[in-house]
Amino acid sequence: GAVVSQHPSWVICKSGTSVKIECRSLDFQATTMFWYRQFPKQSLMLMATSNEGSKATYEQGVEKDKFLINHASLTLSTLTVTSAHPEDSSFYICSAPDSRTGYGYTFGSGTRLTVV
């Protein structure tokens, strides 16, 4: 089946630094990528939708200048958390529609971000 490879799986960074998370579609083209954030014992919350070659669409309350999304190719979308703070510590997950199988969506394995 379709695979979305997400890296890194975990990262620890200092407050004020930036962290980049990558999601690659390995065997299909992802024109759209969804980015979610999940806090402990909570559900996935959609942050933004990225489309290849255009600006991302952010959900209400998500700072677009803080969470920079780039979708420069059909197989790569990145999320950069800029000037990270401890409250940004969370589990970040990407997802892409998989039109090949009809199952809908495939998810990355997630990135655990800890800001210290």
Partner 1 sequence: LAKTTQPISMDSYEGQEVNITCSHNNIATNDYITWYQQFPSQGPRFIIQGYKTKVTNEVASLFIPADRKSSTLSLPRVSLSDTAVYYCLVGSPGGSYIPTFGRGTSLIVHP
Whether the link from the prior residue into 8 is cis, omega within 30° of 0, is yes
* Residues in 16-45 at the binding interface with partner 1, rule: CB under 8 A: 34, 36, 43-45
Q: Are 69 and 56 in contact (CB under 8 A)?
A: yes
Q: Tokens 């390995």 identify what position?
A: 26
| Interaction of residue 105 with partner 1, rule CB under 8 A | yes
| Interaction of residue 62 with partner 1, rule CB under 8 A | no
| Interaction of residue 103 with partner 1, rule CB under 8 A | yes
Least distance between partner 1 and beta carbon 115 (Å): 17
Least distance between partner 1 and beta carbon 39 (Å): 13
Phi, then psi, of 10 in degrees rounded to 5: -155, 150
Residue number, 6 or 77, with CB nearest to partner 1: 6
Residue number, 25 or 95, with CB nearest to partner 1: 95
Q: How far is CA 54 from the centre of its chain?
A: 16
Enumerate the β-bridge partners of residue 36.
46, 93
Least distance between partner 1 and beta carbon 19 (Å): 17
| Interaction of residue 110 with partner 1, rule CB under 8 A | yes
**Taking the alpha carbons of 107, 39, 79, 18 in that order, is the dihedral positive or negative?**
negative
